[in-house]
């Protein structure tokens, strides 16, 4: 049961938070989320780094659930980068159609497959600077792959992560690269990947964009944005989306 929180600090006119106070609060939030979501993980299904890379590219502008329904047929027909690079684009488009923007996504996944074949010996590289050279792969996708396929810590700044980071007053920036840098200075590097999962899970389940379930949130005493959504626990509980989302 969520405890009743005080009004947000900024609403009470408290002094500005010190840097040390911000670091301590950020790490406490991470600990509370770890207790709240002990099973947090990447909700894209994959068996290899290549499958995760493709699935992450396909997840743009759609849900992980939709991607998970689509990739089994894709990987059954094209199990590796050499297979996908040599595919008929029209056949790939037909498989990817349910994910939306299927023509652009086909171009990206076939392009990155060709790049893996031609420049990396058919293997997904384990370095961010190499991953971001692949078609359709930015820092967010690269960090997902590094953190979940190679155990290399990375911060994944998707829409949920960015929204929560700003609500927590960890940053005021909307640029994903700046958000990644600023949060990386607050949280130990070893926790970056799991922090990403926890914030994404919390954003999907409780801290929604339009009506966050504030009254049902375990972070009420730590969140300066408490009150953006219903603070009554009974009302807030109705807004909670338990998942899973995969």
Give yes or no: 158 in active site. Answer: yes
Check: CB of residue 70 under 8 Å from CB of residue 99. yes
What is the Cα–Cα distance from 46 to 153, expressed in whole angstroms?
A: 18
- Residues 115 and 133: their CA atoms lie apart, in Å, by 9
3-state secondary structure of 227: coil
Token pair of 40, please? 């947090």
Active site residue 140: yes
Using only C-alpha atoms, what is the Rg of the chain?
Answer: 20
Q: Please, which residues have CB within 8 angstroms of residue 233's CB and are 6 or more apart in sequence?
A: 1, 2, 215, 216
Structure tokens of 30? 């991470």
User: Are the C-beta atoms of 62 and 99 separated by less than 8 Å?
Assistant: yes
- Which of 158, 169, 173, 191 is labelled catalytic? 158
Q: Are 171 and 178 in contact (CB under 8 A)?
A: yes
- Which of these is catalytic: 83, 107, 118, 140? 140
Residue with tokens 């990396």: 120
- Catalytic positions are 140, 158
């Amino acid at each position: 049961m969520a405890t009743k929180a005080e009004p947000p600090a900024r609403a009470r006119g408290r002094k500005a938070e010190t840097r040390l106070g911000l670091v301590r609060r950020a790490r406490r939030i991470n600990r509370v989320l770890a207790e709240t979501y002990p099973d947090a993980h990447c909700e894209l299904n994959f068996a290899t780094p290549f499958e995760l890379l493709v699935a992450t590219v396909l997840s743009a502008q759609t849900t992980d659930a939709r991607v998970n329904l689509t990739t089994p047929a894709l990987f059954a027909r094209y199990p590796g980068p050499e297979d996908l690079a040599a595919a008929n684009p029209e056949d790939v488009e037909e498989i990817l159609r349910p994910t939306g923007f299927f023509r652009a996504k086909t171009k990206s996944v076939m392009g990155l497959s060709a790049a893996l074949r031609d420049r990396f010996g058919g293997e997904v590289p384990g370095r961010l600077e190499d991953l971001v050279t692949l078609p359709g792969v930015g820092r967010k996708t690269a960090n997902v792959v590094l953190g979940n396929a190679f155990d290399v810590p990375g911060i994944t700044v998707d829409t949920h992560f960015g929204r929560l980071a700003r609500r927590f007053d960890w940053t005021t920036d909307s640029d994903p690269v700046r958000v990644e840098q600023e949060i990386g200075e607050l949280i130990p590097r070893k926790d970056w990947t799991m922090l990403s999962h926890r914030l994404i899970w919390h954003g999907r389940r409780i801290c929604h964009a339009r009506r966050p379930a504030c009254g049902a949130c375990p972070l009420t005493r730590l969140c300066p944005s408490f009150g953006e959504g219903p603070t009554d626990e009974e009302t807030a509980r109705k807004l909670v989306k338990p998942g899973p989302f995969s």
